[in-house]
Amino acid sequence: MSIDIPSKLKCVMFCDFHATLGPQIKYQQPVDFINKDEMDSIAPYIITKPTFQGYLISLKAFGYTFMGYPIVISNNKYKRNALFFNVVFVFDEADDVKEFEPVVTKLAGYMKTLELESEYISDKETEKNIPEILKKILNDLSSTGECTIPVNHCNTIYLKVNTQPIEPPLVLDHHVPIFNWSKSAVDSQHWNLTAKRVLPYIDGFNHVQKIATLANVDLALVRSALQTLVFHGVLELTPIFLYSNMYAVKPEISSLYRDEAFQKECVSFVARDKTNLPEFRDVFMLYCALGPGISVSALCGRHDLQELGIDEKKLILFGIVKKIIHKLCKFPVLTSPDSLSLVIREKSRWMTGYYDYDEICCMSAMNGTPITHDELNGITENEQQVVHIWK
């Protein structure tokens, strides 16, 4: 059965220690994927010192992740009285490849057994089969996530990549759920009682805590129901929209500039009136005007969005969902517990740099001492012992 991991594996290398040349790539598939100069740079982590032999080692270099399990077999029949080798998997540096760790470890065990039982690696005749083994490993793991390789009458290599279980997403009280599915697709499903109660209040602007209040459902039950829906791709979580919020564009904004279909989708979504769509130029200009120090309120003050036919809430929502902008969050940090006002003292446990304004306001409401963003900003901005971090 095909699985959704294969393209991560880019190359499989067999490396050993040559008595004269030192550490080398003896075989690799594809051929010449990693050159000699690159190998020389990382050789100490591929053919390692005794301290690191028999351990899984992963390192990043040249835009790739190299994962291997260095093996040494000590015996005076070998030159230098030992055989050093390592079968290394190569991946793109950005990929999460934890699922390959047991595969690399298991393959190292197979290769060690083959050498101990039949001198498969050190014998020049059988050693010639290693390139074909590497090729089959690369091709089979890349197409089906598993491979079976009969090596000789006593040994067969069995490898399988098991995908890691996905952790359920964390749903916080200040998150705003938005539908990924169409309304008809959502309505056609059979949901549990909690989901049925909360679904009508999901509009892309109500946050989790407000949804629980409107639906008159326990907050913990609402979080659990939304967590399940997010896990299955029905919903996506976005930040609360406030006019005091600040946003910044991401590099992905360039895709909006180049993709005409993307532009049409954007203009249609952010329009105040679907019969009178705004100009894409104006929409793109507003996105590019976002940045540190520019709140949504300031943006609306500088540009007449109503005249441009653009809904500012939808403008921000589209940018967040399509990941072309991100929200800049404000985190208050208490630098000293001395001489604090009563209000600051009440909120000080959350002023650690781990909680932003949205979280503090929601947690304050849960504790029966609600506070708005503006009120929180007013008391922290004027407090000398509080500094703010934007990120």
- The DSSP string of 353-372 is TT--HHHHHHHHHHTT----
Contact 46, 104 (CB under 8 A): no
pTM for the predicted model, two decimal places: 0.57
Residue in 220, 96, 117 with CA at minimum distance from that of residue 166: 96
Query: Is 194 in the same domain as 250?
Result: no
Query: Is 358 in the same domain as 320?
Result: no
> Is residue 205 included in any domain, yes or no?
yes
DSSP summary character for residue 293: T
- pLDDT score at 80: 81
CB atoms within 10 A of CB 272: 15
Output the six-digit token pair for 211: 């949804």
- pLDDT score at 6: 44
Query: Is 16 in the same domain as 153?
Result: yes
Q: What is the dihedral of CA 84, 90, 93, 97, to 10 degrees?
A: -100
Buried b (16+ CB within 10 A) or exposed e, 6-32: bebbbbbbbbbbeeeeebbbebbbeee
Residues of the chain with pLDDT under 50: 1-6
Neighbour-count burial of 282, counting CB atoms closer than 10 A to its CB (0-12 exposed, 13-18 middle, 19+ buried): middle
Contact 171, 223 (CB under 8 A): yes
- pLDDT score at 5: 43
Query: Is 18 in the same domain as 154?
Result: yes
The domain of 128 spans: 9-160
- pLDDT score at 212: 94
> Is residue 170 included in any domain, yes or no?
no
> Is residue 347 included in any domain, yes or no?
yes
Query: Is 28 in the same domain as 152?
Result: yes
Cα gap 255→324, rounded to integer Å = 8
- pLDDT score at 1: 36
Which of 160, 190, 208 is the last residue before a domain boundary? Answer: 160
Output the six-digit token pair for 168: 């359920």
How many domains does one find in the chain?
4
Angular region, 34: left φ>0, alpha ψ -120 to 50, beta rest: beta
Query: Is 66 in the same domain as 102?
Result: yes
